[in-house]
Structure 1
Amino acid sequence: MIWEVFRQKKAGDYHTHCGNVHAPDRDMALLFAEVQHGRRMPTNSLWVVPKDEIGEVDTEDVAFGGTTDKSYRWAMTYNFEAAAEEVAASESEQSEAEQQRRSVVEGDD
């Protein structure tokens, strides 16, 4: 029987798949998993699951993320050229106003 092994590196981390072991029962699978997958790297815990008990849902079975159109969340058609022109004009006006203030303060007028 094939058993899939999931390893948790440290407490609080997710368990990640690290391989499998061949064993006749759960106790032997736990022992083999400890020897093959738990001693080579830092390990907090191991999960050992019969391969036949693992189910799968893929994109052919279900549309992940829902079917609602949420394209409005991404600004893909935003026209920034008009805004850039407005910013450039504003910077120009601010620069001219600053020059006028300096000339008044320095008494050039």
Structure 2
Amino acid sequence: MIWEVFRQEKEGEYHTHCGNVHAPDREMAKQFAAIQHGRRKPTNNMWVVPKEEVGEVDGEKYSFGGTTDKSYRWATGYNVTADDASEVVESSDEQEDAERRRSEVV
């Protein structure tokens, strides 16, 4: 029987799918999951689920959100010319100069 394994790295984070294990029963699946998927990375918690019990929500049958344009969240969503960015470049240069002077004093 195939069991799907979901791993939580830190408390409060989401569980993410990390693979599967082949085992005859739930207890063996938990042990195999801990050995194969729990020891490689920091792990707080694991879910071990029979593959047959994992359900799918088909995107063609149901409409999901996420159709709103949120390109404003990414720098690539803006048309910026070199003139518009001159203040940013100047500020960056000033910060580098200040850092250089601080390291010379020490």
Instruction: Classify the TM-score, shorter chain.
Output: 0.5 to 0.7
Residue in 2 aligned with 1:19?
Answer: 19
Which has the greater radius of gyration? 1
Question: Structure 1: 5+ residue runs without aligned partners?
Answer: 72-109
Aligned alpha-carbon RMSD (Å): 2.3
TM, length-normalised to structure 1: 0.59
Give the number of aligned pairs.
Answer: 71
Letter in structure 2 aligned against 1:55 = G
1:46-85 equivalences under 5 Å are 46-65=46-65
C-alpha deviations, 1:36-69, integer Å up to 9, x for none?
0000110001100000001101211111129xxx
Letter in structure 1 aligned against 2:35 = V
Letter in structure 2 aligned against 1:20 = N
TM, length-normalised to structure 2: 0.61
Q: Provide runs of 4+ in structure 1 moved above 4 Å.
A: none
Tell me the SS of whatever aligns to 1:43.
coil
